[in-house]
Amino acid sequence: MEFSNELFEICTCRRFAVKIDLSLEADNNVRVQVANSAGTTRGGRRAMQRRPAQTAAGVSGNRRRIERCMIEIRPVQSDDLDALYRIALATGDGGADAAALYRDPKLVGHIYAGPYAKLCPETVFVAQDTDGVGGYIVGAANTLAFETRLEAEWWPDLRAEYADYADTPHAERTPDQRRVHAIRQPRRTPSEIANAYPSHLHINLLPRLRGHGVGRALMDRWLAAVSESGSTGAHLATGAANTRAIRFYTAYGFRALALVPHSVSGAVWLGIALRRDGPG
């Protein structure tokens, strides 16, 4: 994504859109103004390195100019599924590209993307720019009910496709084998977490969309959707090493809840309480 060194703007459109206005100030901070479809706004500033003036065809590098880059936040559509699977893999190693880790490129998406798009598309939103869908937020308003639906409607076909590796000690399993084991014997969310924070989510952006307020815009839209369905809170699990994501969630208002039991990577649960009119 290219930005002018004077001003850039990311606009979104459609029914559930948010509009994100970003302008570069004299101190090299970017002013971020987010307006949701209800017309309310929230602002913020972030440090951003000023780039030298760019030269494009017919445009002098010294000439003041404005570029507009359209990023749309919209509900998922059935033909987004391949993009969701690609993004899940491209961010599947604690936020980094996991493509080199897996022989089967669909395993990560089978767990973290596909079932949400298929079973609860009303709580799945994507971010799309001129290069296509580059990010998503997926989740379920009612985690315990979703896990019950997974058992009935999602895992059976995959279990027929993938043989288990239960006989292989965990430490000796390959990444593919660990994912297959998670498909065959998924862990249920602890009831203390799911009762207090009934909804859960996963959010992933390709590198080109990170750091420009798109994550915050997706989170706003998703939390509004689960709030509207009556949820009183949302949770997620993230690797303790994914410091970027933890900073993002903490800046948004999530708080650490507890260590994830049996986690090899030291994952943590984070939660946010919801009021009827949004995050509290």
Ligand X SMILES: CC(C)(COP(=O)(O)OP(=O)(O)OC[C@H]1O[C@@H](n2cnc3c(N)ncnc32)[C@H](O)[C@@H]1OP(=O)(O)O)[C@@H](O)C(=O)NCCC(=O)NCCS
The least distance separating ligand X from the CB of residue 15, rounded to whole angstroms, comes to 21
Query: Interface with ligand X includes 235 (CB under 6 A)?
Result: no
44 forms part of the interface with ligand X (CB under 6 A): yes
- Among residues 191 and 243, whose Cβ is nearest to ligand X? 243
* Identity of the residue, 65 or 210, whose beta carbon is nearer to ligand X in the bound complex: 210
Q: Where are the alpha helices (DSSP H) in the chain?
A: 81-90, 107-112, 114-119, 143-149, 155-161, 175-184, 191-196, 214-228, 243-252
**Binders of ligand X among 246-265, rule CB under 6 A?**
247-248, 251
Tokens standing for residue 147:
């896990």
Give the torsion through C-alpha atoms of 138, 93, 90, 17, to 10 deg: 30
Which residue's Cβ has the minimum distance to ligand X?
Answer: 215
CB-based contact 147:200 (threshold 8 Å): no
Pairing of strands 67-70, 7-11: parallel
Nearer to ligand X among residue 86 and residue 212 (C-beta)? 212
Give me the least distance between CB of 20 and ligand X, in Å please: 9
Enumerate residues 50-109 that contact ligand X by CB under 6 A: 91, 95
**Phi/psi of residue 179, nearest 5 degrees:** -65, -40
CB of 243 to ligand X, least distance (A): 8
Contacts of 77 (CB under 8 A, 6+ apart): none
Nearer to ligand X, 162 or 206 (CB): 206
Of the pair 204, 231, the CB lying nearest ligand X is at 204
Q: Choose which of 143, 204, 227, 231 interacts with ligand X (CB under 6 A).
A: 204
98-104, Cβ contacts within 8 angstroms, sequence gap of 24 or more: 98/175, 101/175, 102/175, 102/176, 102/179, 103/174, 103/176, 104/176, 104/179
User: Could you tell me which residues are beta bridge partners of residue 269?
Assistant: 237, 258
Contacting ligand X (CB under 6 A), which of 114, 139, 215, 233?
A: 215
> Which of these segments, 2-10, 101-109, 141-149, 237-245, binds ligand X (CB under 6 A)?
237-245
* 189 is a site residue for ligand X (CB under 6 A): no
Give the helix/strand (H/E) hosting 204.
Answer: strand 199-205
Interacting residue ranges for ligand X, rule: CB under 6 A: 32, 44, 46, 91, 95, 203-205, 210-216, 238, 242, 244-245, 247-248, 251
